[in-house]
Amino acid sequence: MRLRHKPWAKEMIENHPQYIVGNPENYKGKWQEVFNNEQPLHIEVGTGKGRFVTEMAKAHPDINYIGIELYDSVIVAALDRLIEADLPNLRLLNVNASELDKYFAKNDIDRVYLNFSDPWPKTRHEKRRLTYKDFLKLYENILVDQGEIHFKTDNQGLFEYSLKSFSEYGLLLTFLSLDLHKSEYEGNIMTEYEQKFSEAGNRIYRCEVKYQN
């Protein structure tokens, strides 16, 4: 994905601390203070422009959501959505996913969503894939026991790699679809990429896996 530089993005982020949490390390182990409740907490790693996580927060007010996005120029689009929706159960973090354990403690998170992650197809970039074993360990370190990962992609190679990675790590596969939009799965909320890829005729792959603590 080629990013368009937005020099005003950082200032916009700093001006909206009620939506994009500053100094998130201060809330490690106590995210209920941010939401002022003790609802389950789900995170989307690589939230992009925020369509998925915003619509999920609207559909499930009894769950708290955090969208995580590294790039300033991308997260401001998600911020626009959140400002418009003004959802009490949604926040954003402008941080690197490889450092999640700096911001979340064990048992902070109930579910991780990975939607249309960068496939990093070259072998030398394997460690950057969000379903690589080091990331699976990272998620385990912040999830509750038997916490879940829900994964969607249009990239068959990444999906096959991820299923193998999940299996080798010892995760339990609880749902699998090789063509999501032609399945009987209900309640699917599309990301911007998902709509684009699906309209282009691409098959959407989806799975759910659970840690067996």
| Catalytic residue IDs | 118
DSSP state of 50: S
State both tokens at 145: 């026991």
| Sequence-separated (6 or more) residues with CB below 8 Å from residue 77 | 48, 49, 50
> Which residue is associated with the tokens 């609880």?
174
Is there a contact between 79 and 16 (Cβ–Cβ < 8 Å)?
A: yes
205-210: strand order across its sheet: 90-93, 64-68, 41-45, 109-115, 143-153, 205-210, 172-177
Burial of 142 (C-beta count, 10 Å sphere; 0-12/13-18/19+): buried
Coil, helix or strand for 130?
Answer: coil
DSSP state of 20: B
